[in-house]
Copies of this chain bind each other. A is one copy, B any other.
Amino acid sequence: MMAQGWEAIRDEVKRRIRVRDWTPGSIIPTEAELAQEFGCARGTVNRALIDLARAGVLERRRKAGTRVALLPVRQAHFAIPVIRAEIAARGQIATHQLLALDRVPPPVPVAARMGRAAEGHLIYVETLFLADGRPFAHEARWLNPAVLPDPSPDFAEISVNEWLVANVALATGDIAFAAEGADARVAQVLGIALGTPIFVTERLTRGAEAAITFVRLSHAPGYRMQTAL
């Protein structure tokens, strides 16, 4: 009658919380009791409850038992957009222009973020992404040359992004979002007025020893980052 499996148990637990059968802060039956009620093994209940705990719906502690989270830590997760895919998802055609490719001493805020990697010169790549020929986002990227192989790849041929995803696996880093006014360069490239509110994404990618790359992405006006939760 009821859909079987650990997902069914998870949904049933969620339902009981939603209808306030089990209220926030209260303790719920033990895994063994639930297993008996649902007529399954404890491992199956365990799997369901672990999933809900990771989602922030339940709080579990050994011996203390499992309780409904008092303040459900509502967490959203975003798929970090790959620009080309994001444009394609809108049914538009993605193109890009390489605006600059130099070796430069990094500006102070970038150097501060990249730490040791920014002691010498960095490779600076500036790209304009277009959707159906209209400016979509401006990307400024600083790349630590130490991560490149000896005969450096020809970034006129392969895009820096593509080289990175193909050659740097599983790096860590962090990402930040902010609202800023367009500076002179961004305003010019995106074709907007100076100071126009711009959604900015900044991403720092770290390798084992040093920072690999720092990206600053300025989206065209009207951009929204959205997700379900």
Stretch at the interface among A74-82, A119-127, A152-160: A74-82
A170 at the interface (CB under 8 A from B): yes
Q: Given A24-B166, A72-B169, A75-B77, 19 other A-B contacts at CB below 8 A?
A: A17-B169, A17-B170, A24-B169, A72-B170, A74-B79, A76-B175, A77-B77, A78-B78, A172-B229, A174-B229, A175-B229, A177-B177, A177-B199, A177-B224, A177-B225, A178-B225, A179-B199, A179-B219, A179-B221
A100 at the interface (CB under 8 A from B): no
Tell me, in angstroms, the Cα distance from A169 to B178 when the chains sit together. Answer: 30
Given known contacts A73-B79, A172-B228, A228-B174, is B197 in contact with A179 (CB within 8 Å)? yes
Tell me, in angstroms, the Cα distance from A44 to B49 when the chains sit together. Answer: 18
Q: Which of B20, B73, B173, B180 contacts A197 (CB 8 A)?
A: B180
Interface residues of A (CB under 8 A from B): 14, 17-18, 20, 23-24, 57, 68, 71-80, 82, 165-166, 169-170, 172-181, 195-200, 219, 221, 223-229
Ranked nearest first, the 8 interchain pairs of A and B with the lowest CB-CB distance are A179-B179, A77-B77, A197-B197, A176-B226, A179-B199, A74-B80, A179-B197, A174-B228
Tell me, in angstroms, the Cα distance from A228 to B175 when the chains sit together. Answer: 6
